[in-house]
Amino acid sequence: MTNLTTLGEYVIKKQHEYPHATGELSQIFGALRLASKVVNREINKAGLVDISGASGLENVQGEQQQKLDVYANEKFKAALLARGQVAGMASEEEEDYVAFNEGHSVGGKYVVLIDPLDGSSNIDVNVSIGTIFSVYRRVSSLDGPVQLEDFLQPGNRQVAAGYVVFGSSTMMVYTTGNGVHGFTFDPSIGVFYLSHENIRIPEAGHIYSVNEGNYVKFPPGVKKYIKYCQEMDADTGRPYTSRYIGSLVADFHRNLLKGGIYMYPSYANAPTGKLRLLYECNPLAWLVEQAGGKATDGYRRILDIEPTELHQRTPYYVGSRAMVDRVEGFLRDNPDT
């Protein structure tokens, strides 16, 4: 164990990659690491205490909140609030952003956007879930509280992004714009150790991830691409394997390591898609690009979309570059008329 590198050590070691931060990002990662460990502890005893199940509340999107959604949101908020580097937080679970520096003359330089517990509806059946986070430098004056404009920045302005996957092991995967690195949690001593340095997604994979229960509602191009994935072709290794967990973090993590594509198209009941641009799509889009992959809404790069609202949704295609290129071709050649 003495030769292993911890998450904290690695972030400090790499601080020269973002000299403008002068150690501030390492403090933010410390907060995210602490909250992740607390949430991991509660998830691991979800069957033993009254922490699983619905809370009886709805979030801003009208979705039923799970008890752990509320718990995780509060733990991440408290951990980030305790760090002076963070001026505010926006969460998928809250209608508006939260300003941490109200009443103070000078605020922190950064804001954090977070999906505290992605896939939380799977908690009761012991399926992998996760947390997704994104860090931006403020664009408003540091002399006052954060503003909406600090959160409505395109994904290409992120300074850090990542996720935590709570599965057979707990991992944190992040980027600061210089590759993608993964750390596995050792619960016996409560430390994240470097386990996957410089992750690269395969150029082409053999896994496609999509909720095929909505197939009849999908755009024509997506239907044709799914049929393409299912056809026999020895030269391209088809048919591809269909794998869909229903937790975005878990599906993305598998495809990042093994190669594949994750798709959540628009359809009749969700004309702008279901996934949130700021809390889910942007962070994972930057991660996959840093690993050599691609993320798009079917027609344009996710990271170049200018957000107009906190809970904006978008269609999403993310994964191995060749597979995303292919589905874009099908969408372009088969317009939804």
pLDDT tens-digit series, residues 115-157 = 999 987 777 777 889 999 999 999 999 888 899 999 999 999 9
Indicate whether 37 belongs to any domain: yes
Residues 217 and 120 in one domain: no
Residues 23 and 156 in one domain: yes
Indicate whether 76 belongs to any domain: yes
Please state the pTM of the whole predicted model: 0.92
The CATH number of whichever domain residue 221 belongs to comes to: 3.40.190.80
Residues 173 and 313 in one domain: no
Residues 247 and 111 in one domain: no
Indicate whether 1 belongs to any domain: no
Indicate whether 282 belongs to any domain: yes
For 231-264, write each residue's pLDDT tens digit.
Answer: 999 988 999 999 999 999 999 999 999 999 999 9
Direct distance between the N- and C-terminal alpha carbons of the chain, in angstroms, rounded to an integer: 59
Residues 154 and 228 in one domain: no
Indicate whether 257 belongs to any domain: yes
The CATH number of whichever domain residue 152 belongs to comes to: 3.30.540.10
- Domain total of the chain: 2
25, 31, 38, 93, 136 from 90: Cα distances, Å: 18, 15, 20, 9, 11
Q: Average pLDDT for residues 279-285, to the nearest whole number?
A: 98
Residues 183 and 214 in one domain: no
Residues 188 and 54 in one domain: yes
Residues 48 and 190 in one domain: yes
For 59-113, write each residue's pLDDT tens digit.
Answer: 555 555 678 889 999 999 999 998 888 999 999 999 999 999 765 445 689 999 9
Asked whether residue 1 carries a pLDDT value surpassing 50, the answer given is: no
Residues 12 and 75 in one domain: yes
Indicate whether 2 belongs to any domain: no
Indicate whether 138 belongs to any domain: yes
Annotated binding site: 92, 115, 117-121, 211, 244, 274, 280
Residues 91 and 229 in one domain: no
Give the pLDDT score at 107.
67
Task: Choose the final residue of a domain: 166, 196, 226.
Answer: 196
Annotated binding site for Mg(2+): 92, 115, 117-118, 280
What is the share, in percent, of the chain residues with pLDDT greater than 70?
A: 89
Residues 148 and 51 in one domain: yes
Half-sphere exposure of 117 (CA within 13 A, CB side): 28
* Domain, as residue range, for 310: 207-333
Task: Choose the final residue of a domain: 142, 162, 196.
Answer: 196
Residues 50 and 169 in one domain: yes
Read off φ and ψ for residue 91, nearest 5 degrees: -130, 145
Annotated binding site for substrate: 118-121, 211, 244, 274
Amino acid sitting at position 213:
G
Indicate whether 229 belongs to any domain: yes
Give the span between the Cα atoms of 149 and 140, in whole angstroms: 7
Asked whether residue 58 carries a pLDDT value surpassing 90, the answer given is: no
Task: Choose the final residue of a domain: 196, 230, 249.
Answer: 196
